[in-house]
Amino acid sequence: MLEQNNQEVNSYFFNVITMFASSAWCQLGKIQNPANGKIEKDLKGAQITIDMLLMLRDKTKNNLTKKEEGMLTSMISNLQMNYADEISKVDQETGNSPDNTQEKPNLV
């Protein structure tokens, strides 16, 4: 059973997408930056990181197991929802309408 699970998710692929997701969570201010232990926000950086995960999804299309594809899709969706939430907080704080804020990532 364990051997079958290993074949369903490539460990290198898992590590790459987890690395990007961890960076995005830090950039969204949801977890501590491991380098300095502080909570910091970099929404532009988060946008770029999410866009990189979207690019990986597009470039690996039809080359992933169902489990890998589901993992990546779920990760991207969670990050996009949290990004949208953080942008709406900025909009409320600054009084900007959503159309006047920084560029949003592709939510496809």
Entry pTM: 0.79
Residues sharing a CB contact under 8 Å with residue 34, sequence separation 6 or more, in sequence order: 26
CATH of the domain at 31: 1.20.58
Average pLDDT over residues 85-90: 93
Distances in whole angstroms, Cα of residue 22 to Cα of each of 3, 93, 98: 27, 26, 26
Indicate whether 20 belongs to any domain.
Answer: yes
Indicate whether 108 belongs to any domain.
Answer: no
Indicate whether 58 belongs to any domain.
Answer: yes
- The percent of residues above 90 in pLDDT, for the chain, comes to 72
Q: Is the pLDDT of residue 100 over 50?
A: no
Return the structure tokens found at 64.
Answer: 């992933």
Indicate whether 63 belongs to any domain.
Answer: yes
Write down the pLDDT at residue 59.
97
Q: Is the pLDDT of residue 43 over 50?
A: yes
Domain region containing 21: 2-95
Q: Is the pLDDT of residue 99 over 80?
A: no
Distances in whole angstroms, Cα of residue 84 to Cα of each of 36, 53, 75, 99: 26, 16, 14, 13
The domain tally of the chain equals: 1
Average pLDDT over residues 82-87: 96
Indicate whether 22 belongs to any domain.
Answer: yes
Q: Select from 100, 93, 5 the least CA-distant residue to 41.
A: 93
Question: In the 8-state DSSP scheme, what is residue 91?
Answer: H
> Alpha helix (H) ranges present in the chain?
2-8, 11-27, 43-59, 66-94
Indicate whether 100 belongs to any domain.
Answer: no
